[in-house]
Amino acid sequence: MKKIVLALLVLITAQQAWAQHAHIESIFGNKSEEKKKITVGGYGTAIGKLTPVNGKLGVLTGLQGGVLLNHKLMLGAGGYGLTNSIKAPKLNVPDEQNQYIQMWYTGLMAEYIFNSDKLIHWSAGALLGGGGVGRDERHHGWHDDDDDHHGWYGSSGFFVAEPFVGVEVNITSYLRLNVGGSYRFIHGSNTPGLTDSDLSGGAFHVGIKAGKF
Do residues 80 and 51 make contact, with C-beta atoms less than 8 angstroms apart? Answer: no
Q: Which of 45, 5, 3, 42 is nearest to 209 (CA)?
A: 45
Residue 95 has pLDDT above 50, yes or no: yes
**Which pLDDT does position 201 carry in this prediction?**
98
Say whether 18 sits in a helix, a strand or coil: helix
- Report pLDDT digits (tens) over 165-201: 999 999 999 999 999 999 999 999 999 999 999 999 9
- Report pLDDT digits (tens) over 25-51: 444 555 554 457 889 999 999 999 999
Backbone angles phi, psi at 41, to 5 degrees: -135, -155
153 band by pLDDT with thresholds 50, 70 and 90: confident
Q: How far is the C-alpha of 201 from the C-alpha of 50, rounded, in Å? A: 10
The single-letter code of the amino acid at 2 is: K
Say whether 199 sits in a helix, a strand or coil: helix
Do residues 63 and 44 make contact, with C-beta atoms less than 8 angstroms apart? Answer: yes
Do residues 209 and 168 make contact, with C-beta atoms less than 8 angstroms apart? Answer: yes
Residues of 9-20 as b/e, b for ≥16 C-beta within 10 angstroms? eeeeeeeeeeee
**Which pLDDT does position 125 carry in this prediction?**
98
Q: pTM for this one? A: 0.78
Residue 1 has pLDDT above 60, yes or no: no
